[in-house]
């Protein structure tokens, strides 16, 4: 009794392709915004190989190959290469008739973006972000002039009057922070502490003590170390340095000797002569 056993071999062979299809597709449903992908698909590959064990010549047909954009000379810099130029010249009868429609679609898309930007500027102009938002040294007078003369939205013009109290608070905060480097350090320390920990159960009841938007916040009241330690102790926020046991018992220790050492060392380095309370 005999049995036939299939014996497989791996061979390398040259495969030739003649006709390829260039595929262009958007990267997402946002046709214009997300960019596009390019691939070249070949389905007519053919070649031949000699089988190593039998010496038989085997012919291959209908081989498929998918090539990337570099295959047609397209690169990320979008510079027209000789290869790409040659392909355009050979396929001009295919893409040229569709060009007018494509231009119309692109122009409509651009007009839509322009209109969207124009409508947004009616609410708040692009210049606001450069001249106001990113300029922490802007004076009250300069802000008033900008809002009245540069913004189209009439409601923005009236902010100076309708939100005068809020602006007073804002500029007094800025005056405080800019008064001395030590004040700035103190403010940033407590501002960051609050926004990083405001959702903790131990902090929530003391919002008025820490929230920088409250005039009662410690951000605006520099304290001597012994006074601060007493103040934190009253709020049960100071203790010994964190330990493994504290972690197991879920006892948060927000302040201790070591982080206060760092804070007051930084303040002393700024050479402030006298730690005083500054009200807003």
The pair of three-digit structure tokens given for residue 181, joined into one six-digit string: 């480097």
Domain co-membership, 135 together with 194 = no
The pair of three-digit structure tokens given for residue 255, joined into one six-digit string: 């302040």
pLDDT grade for 58, boundaries at 50, 70 and 90: confident
pLDDT grade for 279, boundaries at 50, 70 and 90: very low
68 part of a folded domain:
yes
pLDDT given at position 103: 94
Between 280 and 193, the higher pLDDT residue: 193
Name the one residue in this structure whose structure tokens are 């691939």: 39
pLDDT at 244 over 70: no
Domain co-membership, 158 together with 233 = no
pLDDT at 224 over 50: yes
Quote the domain boundaries for residue 146: 127-162
Domain co-membership, 158 together with 200 = no
Read off the DSSP letter of residue 202. T
Distance, CA of 82 to CA of 86 (rounded, Å): 6
- 111 CB-side CA count, 13 A: 6
Domain co-membership, 181 together with 260 = yes
Q: What is this structure's pTM? A: 0.53
43 part of a folded domain:
yes
Distance, CA of 271 to CA of 277 (rounded, Å): 16
pLDDT given at position 243: 59
248 part of a folded domain:
yes
Report the 10 Å Cβ neighbour count for 159.
17
Distance, CA of 39 to CA of 23 (rounded, Å): 5
pLDDT at 96 over 90: yes
167 part of a folded domain:
no
Domain co-membership, 141 together with 195 = no
Distance, CA of 271 to CA of 134 (rounded, Å): 29
189 part of a folded domain:
yes
Domain co-membership, 158 together with 183 = no
Pick from 93-97, 240-244, 275-279: least confident: 275-279
How far, in Å, are 93, 125, 227, 251 from residue 161 at the CA level? 65, 20, 39, 48
How far, in Å, are 76, 192, 240, 264, 273 from residue 225 at the CA level? 59, 19, 16, 7, 14
Helix ranges restricted to H, 52-180: 82-90, 92-95, 99-123, 127-128, 140-149, 154-157, 159-162, 164-179
Dump pLDDT digits (tens) for 177-188: 988 889 999 999
Report the 10 Å Cβ neighbour count for 167.
16
pLDDT at 219 over 80: yes
Domain co-membership, 71 together with 135 = no
Task: Specify the pairing of strand 36-50 against strand 15-16.
Answer: antiparallel
Last residue in a domain, options 139, 162, 185: 162
How far, in Å, are 90, 111, 194, 211, 238 from residue 21 at the CA level? 13, 33, 59, 62, 71
Domain co-membership, 142 together with 63 = no
274 part of a folded domain:
no
Domain co-membership, 202 together with 248 = yes
Domain co-membership, 200 together with 260 = yes
5 part of a folded domain:
no
Distance, CA of 263 to CA of 222 (rounded, Å): 12
Per the prediction, the chain carries an average pLDDT of 87
Q: How many domains does the chain have?
A: 3
């Amino acid at each position: 009794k005999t049995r036939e056993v299939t014996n497989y071999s791996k061979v390398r062979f040259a495969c030739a392709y003649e006709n390829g299809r260039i595929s262009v597709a958007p990267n997402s449903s946002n046709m214009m915004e997300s960019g596009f992908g390019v691939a070249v698909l070949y389905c007519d590959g053919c070649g031949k190989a000699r089988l190593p064990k039998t010496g038989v010549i085997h012919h291959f047909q209908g081989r498929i190959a998918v090539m990337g954009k570099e295959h047609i000379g397209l690169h990320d810099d979008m510079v027209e290469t000789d290869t790409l130029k040659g392909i355009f010249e050979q396929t001009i009868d295919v893409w040229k008739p569709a060009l007018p429609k494509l231009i119309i679609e692109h122009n409509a898309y651009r007009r839509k973006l322009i209109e969207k930007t124009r409508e947004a500027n009616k609410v708040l102009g692009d210049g606001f972000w450069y001249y106001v938002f990113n300029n922490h040294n802007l004076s009250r007078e300069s802000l008033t002039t900008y809002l009245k003369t540069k913004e189209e939205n009439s409601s923005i013009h009236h902010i100076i009057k309708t939100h005068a109290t809020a602006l007073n608070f804002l500029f007094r905060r800025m005056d405080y922070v800019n008064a001395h480097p030590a004040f700035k350090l103190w403010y940033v320390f407590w501002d960051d502490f609050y926004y990083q920990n405001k959702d903790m159960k131990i902090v929530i009841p003391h919002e008025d003590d820490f929230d920088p938007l409250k005039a009662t916040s410690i951000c605006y009241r520099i304290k001597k170390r012994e006074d601060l330690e007493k103040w934190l102790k009253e709020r049960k926020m100071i203790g010994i340095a964190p330990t493994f046991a504290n972690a197991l018992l879920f006892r948060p220790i927000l302040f201790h000797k070591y982080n206060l050492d760092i804070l007051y060392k930084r303040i002393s380095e700024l050479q402030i002569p006298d730690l005083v309370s500054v009200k807003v």
